[in-house]
Amino acid sequence: MKLMHISDLHIGKKLFETSMLEDQRYILNRILDLLDDERPDAVLIAGDVYDRANPTADAMELLDEFLNALAQCGVCTMIISGNHDSPERLAYARRFLENRNIHISPVYNGHIEPIALSDAYGEVCFWLMPYVHPDSVGGFFADQTIRNAQDAAQAVIGEMRVDTNKRNVILSHQFIIGGMTSDSERRNIGTLENVDAALYDAFDYVALGHIHSPQKVGREEVRYAGSPLKYSLSEVNHIKSVPLVTLGEKGKVSVELIPLSPMRDLRHIKGSIRELLDKKHVQSPEDFIYATLTDEEIVGDAMGIFQQVYPNTVKIDYDNFHTR
């Protein structure tokens, strides 16, 4: 069975107040192209579908386009809510969408029923676990002390009663200890959001969302897909990709990372304004540009000057004697 794992779409995201909706439409279309090429049996979307709990009309329209395209491809799509999503809004019309093979995790109600797909090796159980925290699940486990995300995730996974003789895949949107974060993820205080990867030992593949850097956590089969686009300066060196997961017989899992190329890259350039705007050094002027100027004096209307050469300059700051 072949699975395509994506997450952290953050539809409606702004990059330093610059809308990325056009870039998000472009990258979602590239994902659809991959779908045509690879023909997976299921697409797993591991949370933070929207950038905020109350998405704009334009963001909702783009998600509608994407889901409609997935439905037309005939692929089974599974979606969970992340910490940026409203579980209630994301799950709107989920029963209707199930008729088009699109499954969205409901607001957590104390129980998760798996979705079963089959192939030549038998049944695969998919568990759609939305972002959980003490406030969202504590009321369902009165006999347990739910103080943090670890307790919440342990209670939710413990209730699932996973049959380890079968192949099991879980979609989860949590901060797993050991994951490398970036600046565009919502920050939490201390270790309250930390979850131990050992909680997921019963699952053959763990499709994670929340961290924007593509990476494994511990074993190869516990993986963050990462965001499909760069959403912060700390991500400029990321190579965004889509994990293509192949499930063979029980215990046989392979992962291939397929690179994603954006319509406009995010780049960080540094130097004096004269150096950075010299035609000999200008490249890919349509990219999103974060410029750090080393000029000792403040440059008047630096943004206006930069945008004549780099029209998508999103931020300018300084690294000089005064800032140091």
| Secondary structure (DSSP) of 254-313 | EEEEEE---SS-EEEEEE-HHHHT-TTT---TTSEEEEEE--SSPPTTHHHHHHHH-TTE
State the Cα–Cα distance between residues 159 and 154, nearest whole angstrom: 9
Q: What is each CA distance from 243 to 40, 129, 259, in whole angstroms?
A: 11, 19, 9
The set of residues, in sequence order, having a beta carbon less than 8 Å from that of 85 and lying 6+ positions away, is: 47, 48, 49, 50, 53, 131
Phi, psi of 60, rounded to the nearest 5 degrees? -65, -35
Give the pLDDT confidence of 2-31 residue by residue, as tens digits: 999 999 999 999 998 899 999 999 999 999
- Exposed / middle / buried, residue 92 (Cβ in 10 Å: 0-12, 13-18, 19+): exposed
The set of residues, in sequence order, having a beta carbon less than 8 Å from that of 266 and lying 6+ positions away, is: 15, 230, 233, 235, 236, 287, 288, 290, 314
318 contacts 292 by C-beta, under 8 angstroms: yes
171 contacts 80 by C-beta, under 8 angstroms: yes
Question: Could you give the strand order of the β-sheet that contains 122-129, starting from the edge strand earlier in sequence?
Answer: 115-119, 122-129, 167-173, 205-209, 219-224, 215-217
Model's pTM, two decimal places? 0.92
* pLDDT score of 218: 87
State the Cα–Cα distance between residues 318 and 293, nearest whole angstrom: 5
Which segments within 120-158 are labelled E, that is strand?
Answer: 122-129
Q: Per residue of the chain (324 residues), give pLDDT as tens.
A: 999 999 999 999 999 889 999 999 999 999 999 999 999 999 999 999 999 999 999 999 999 999 999 999 999 999 999 999 999 999 998 999 999 999 999 999 999 999 999 999 999 999 999 999 999 888 899 889 899 999 999 999 999 999 999 999 999 999 998 656 655 555 554 567 889 999 999 999 999 999 999 999 989 999 999 999 999 999 999 999 999 999 999 999 999 999 999 999 999 999 999 999 998 888 899 999 999 999 998 888 999 999 999 999 999 999 998 888
- 161: amino acid identity, one letter: R
Give the pLDDT confidence of 87-112 residue by residue, as tens digits: 999 999 899 999 999 999 999 999 99
* pLDDT score of 191: 65
Bridge partners of 288, per DSSP, are 266
> Which tokens hold the place of 252?
């046989």
Q: Give the largest Cα separation in the chain, rounded.
A: 68
